[in-house]
Amino acid sequence: MLNKYARAFFTRVLTPFAAFLIRRGVSPDTVTLIGTAGVVAGALVFYPRGEFFWGTVVITLFVFSDLVDGNMARQLGRSSRWGAFLDSTLDRVADGAIFGGFALWYAGHGDDNTLCAVSIFCLASGQVVSYTKARGESIGLPVAVNGLVERAERLVISLVAAGLAGLHAFGVPGIQYLLPVALWIVAVGSLVTLVQRVVTVRRESAEAEAAAHDRPEGASHGSEAS
């Protein structure tokens, strides 16, 4: 839902900014690299120290680069396999830094081994959820499933909760518990999404093999001859 509606909304909002960067000679790849560097810095500098509010502010400022670079590429007519590969790869780096920052906090001054483990699970499961779709598509399957908690949901839930939890440092009582709740939600949602994708790939694989088995032999030879 977030991928469909929120992405479309922010794409329209950020189009003028993308056009401005193009006029200044900035390339989409540069925006991708700078955006990822900003997210990683915000996550690994602020989160391990428990400065969740300011860390989230920094991350939010840079996370929109994921929309800006694609917008720029479309305006330039330069959408390419390389750009898609770079964007997808650096998305995984950014996600790892965010949940790694949470894990470092709970392993250190946060002093909660359970939440450290949950943060690590969120990090790992997010990577595996992405891998299952990429791997399924690489073997010719559509992986036609909308998971319960995909990347957009993971980021929104985690970053909103972290930002609000950071208000505890400004004297807002009890709000620090939002982040642990959010991490558990993301962990469980990611697990459900992983199961959804694995089940979908299993079903699509069985259907593809059944279709290949039932295909008339003559049709197969005809396609090879052509």
- pLDDT tens-digit readout, 46-97: 999 999 999 999 999 998 887 898 889 888 887 788 888 998 899 999 999 9
Per-residue model confidence (pLDDT) at position 74 = 86
Global pTM value: 0.86
Binding-site annotation: residue ranges for a CDP-1,2-diacyl-sn-glycerol: 29-32, 70, 74, 80
> Which residues does the annotation place in the binding site?
29-32, 66, 69-70, 74, 80, 87, 91
Surface-to-core class of residue 144, CB atoms within 10 Å of its CB (0-12 exposed, 13-18 middle, 19+ buried): exposed
Task: Give the residue, 40 or 64, on which the prediction is more confident.
Answer: 40
Closest CA to 6 of 159, 198, 124, 127: 159
Q: Pick the closest to residue 163 from 176, 153, 152, 151 (CA basis).
A: 176
Q: How many residues does the chain have?
A: 226
Looking at residue 224, its pLDDT comes to 44
Q: What are the E-state strand segments in the chain?
A: none
Helix (H) or strand (E) holding 116: helix 113-138
For 70, 74, 82, 84, 87, the CA distances from 18, given in Å and listed in that order, are 9, 10, 19, 17, 16
Q: What is the tally of helices (H) and strands (E) in the chain?
A: 9, 0
pLDDT mean over 193-217: 88
Q: Average pLDDT, stretch 102-126?
A: 97
When pLDDT is cut at 50, 70 and 90, the band that residue 4 belongs to is low
Helix (H, G, I), strand (E, B) or coil at 78: coil
Tokens 């056009």 -> residue? 19
3-state helix, strand, coil in the chain (%, to 5): 85, 0, 15
Measure CA 60 to chain center. Answer: 13
Q: What integer pLDDT is reported at residue 8 of this predicted model?
A: 73
Catalytic machinery residues:
91
Span 130-162, pLDDT tens digits:
999 999 999 999 999 888 999 889 999 999 999
Task: Indicate whether 5 pLDDT > 50.
Answer: yes
Instruction: Look at residue 1 and tell me whether its pLDDT is greater than 60.
Output: no
CA distance 150 to 125: 11
Strands (E), 48-128: none
